[in-house]
Amino acid sequence: MHIRIAGTGRFLLTASLMLCTAVLAAAANAQENAAHAAPNGKLPEGVRPLHYRLDLTIDPREERFRGTAAIRIELDEASDGFWMHGNNLDVQEINVTPEGGEPVPASYEQVLESGVVWIGFAETVPAGEAMLNVVYDAPFDPALSGMFRVKEGEDWYSLVKSESIQARKAFPGFDEPRFKTPFDVTLTIPEGNVAIGNSPAVAREPAGDGMVRVRLETTRPLPTYLISLAVGPFEEYQIADLPPNDIRDRAVPLSGWARQGKAGEMAAIMGLTKSFIETYERVTGIPYPYAKLDVVAAPDWPSGATELAGAPTYREDIVLSAGAPSPRQQRRIVGIHAHELAHMWFGDYVTPPWWNDLWLKEAFADWAAPIAASARFPDAGYELDAQHAAISGMRADSLASARAVRQQIESNDDIRNAYDGITYSKGAAVLNMTEAYLGQEKWRAGLNDYFHEFADGVADSRDFFRVMGEAAGDPDFEESLKGFIERPGLPLLEAELICSGTDGPRVAVRQSRYAPLGSSIDPAMRWIVPVCVAYGGDEGRSRTCALVREATAEIPLETRACPDWIMPNAGGDSYYRFALPTDQWTALIAHFGELAPAEALMAVDSAGAAFEAGDTHAGVLLNVMEAAAASDHPAIAGAPLDSLGRYVADLTEEGSQARADA
Determine the pLDDT at residue 458: 98
Determine the pLDDT at residue 36: 53
Determine the pLDDT at residue 25: 43
Cis peptide before 164 (omega within 30 of 0): yes
How many CB atoms neighbour CB 445 within 10 A?
15
**Which residue from 89, 97, 87, 85 is spatially nearest to 121, judged by alpha carbons?**
97
**Which residue from 446, 450, 457, 424 is spatially nearest to 353, judged by alpha carbons?**
457
Does 634 have pLDDT greater than 50?
A: yes
Q: pLDDT digit string (tens) for 436-454?
A: 999 999 999 999 999 999 9
Which residues does residue 282 pair with via DSSP β-bridges, in sequence order? none
Determine the pLDDT at residue 658: 46
Determine the pLDDT at residue 421: 86
Q: pLDDT digit string (tens) for 330-350?
A: 999 999 999 999 999 999 999
**Which residue from 40, 635, 599 is spatially nearest to 379, judged by alpha carbons?**
635
Distance CA 126, CA 143 (A): 40
Extended beta strands in 484-592, E state: 491-498, 506-513, 529-537, 540-548, 552-556, 565-567, 577-579
CB 531 within 8 A of CB 555: yes
Determine the pLDDT at residue 15: 42
Determine the pLDDT at residue 661: 45
When mean pLDDT is compared across 96-105, 244-253, 315-324, 609-618, the lowest value belongs to 609-618
Q: How many Å is the Cα radius of gyration of the chain?
A: 30
Distance CA 210, CA 87 (A): 30
Distances (CA, A) of 563 to 42, 250, 277: 56, 53, 43
Determine the pLDDT at residue 646: 65
CA 506 to chain centre: 40
Which pTM does this prediction carry? Answer: 0.91
Q: What is the mean pLDDT of residues 9-26?
A: 41
DSSP assignment letter at 88: S
Q: pLDDT digit string (tens) for 531-551?
A: 999 999 988 999 999 999 999
Determine the pLDDT at residue 223: 98
Which residues does residue 93 pair with via DSSP β-bridges, in sequence order? 135
CB 155 within 8 A of CB 233: yes
Over the chain, what is the mean pLDDT? 91
By DSSP bridging, strand 183-190 and strand 47-57 are parallel
Determine the pLDDT at residue 417: 83
Determine the pLDDT at residue 591: 96
Extended beta strands in 252-338, E state: 254-258, 293-298, 305-306, 313-315
| 384 or 84, which is more confident | 84
Q: pLDDT digit string (tens) for 449-488?
A: 999 999 999 999 999 999 999 999 998 999 999 999 999 9
When mean pLDDT is compared across 200-204, 326-330, 413-417, 507-511, the lowest value belongs to 413-417
User: Confidence class of residue 639 from pLDDT cuts 50, 70 and 90?
Assistant: confident
Phi (first) and psi of residue 24, to 5 degrees: -65, -40
Determine the pLDDT at residue 649: 57
Q: What is the mean pLDDT of residues 127-140?
A: 98
Q: pLDDT digit string (tens) for 258-315?
A: 999 999 999 999 999 999 999 999 999 999 999 999 999 999 999 899 999 999 999 9
User: Confidence class of residue 1 from pLDDT cuts 50, 70 and 90?
Assistant: very low
Determine the pLDDT at residue 651: 56
Does 151 have pLDDT greater than 80?
A: yes
Concatenated DSSP letters of 213-260: EEEEPPPPSB-GGG--EEEE--EEEE-PPBPP-SS--S-B-EEEEEST
DSSP assignment letter at 594: G
Q: Which residues contact 642 (CB under 8 A, 6 or more apart)?
A: none
Instruction: Name the amino acid, one letter, at 300.
Output: D
Q: pLDDT digit string (tens) for 493-517?
A: 999 999 987 789 999 999 999 999 9
Determine the pLDDT at residue 32: 47
Q: pLDDT digit string (tens) for 349-397?
A: 999 999 999 999 999 999 999 999 999 999 998 989 888 889 999 999 9
Q: For the chain, what's the residue count?
A: 662
Distance CA 199, CA 309 (A): 9
